[in-house]
Amino acid sequence: MNDATRIADSTTFKLVVPVLQIILAAAATGSFAWLINAVSTLQTTLNGFQTSQALTTQRVEMIERRLDVNERIIDSLRSTTQRLDIQSTGFSDNLKSIVHSAETRK
């Protein structure tokens, strides 16, 4: 009988091998469960980031729309101010003309 056959036929070997198989199977199952949990956690985190990114994009778009509206209002106010400046200059010139003609009549 050679050494390998003697070891394989021993009671210790017949007890240790199934126990080691169970331990290795349990470790493999635990590792797989841990990996699935880690992937699930990563997926949840990614979903949170994607939601946050979508909300941020919506906020940026809303701010850009407000900026466009504000720029239109500012442009309108500028043109109104320019018209008022032209009108006030014309009014001032007319008033000076009236005062000057009143002074020349005296």
State the pLDDT confidence band at 1, using cuts at 50, 70 and 90: low
Q: Which residue has the higher pLDDT, 49 or 106?
A: 49
Whole-number average pLDDT of the chain: 92
Q: Residue 78: what pLDDT?
A: 95
Q: Which two tokens stand for residue 92?
A: 């001032």
Cβ atoms of 13 and 7 within 8 Å: the answer is: yes
pLDDT in tens, 60-85: 999 999 999 999 999 999 999 999 98
Q: Mean pLDDT: which of 7-21, 51-65, 72-86 is highest? A: 51-65
Into how many domains does the chain fold?
Answer: 1
Q: Is pLDDT of 104 > 70?
A: yes
Which ranges of the chain would DSSP assign to H, the alpha helix?
Answer: 3-8, 11-105
Q: Which domain holds residue 41?
A: 3-105
Integer CA distances (angstroms), 27 to 15, 24, 30, 48, in order: 19, 5, 5, 31
End-to-end CA distance of the chain: 149
Q: Is pLDDT of 38 > 90?
A: yes
Mean pLDDT of 8-35: 94
Q: Is pLDDT of 106 > 70?
A: no
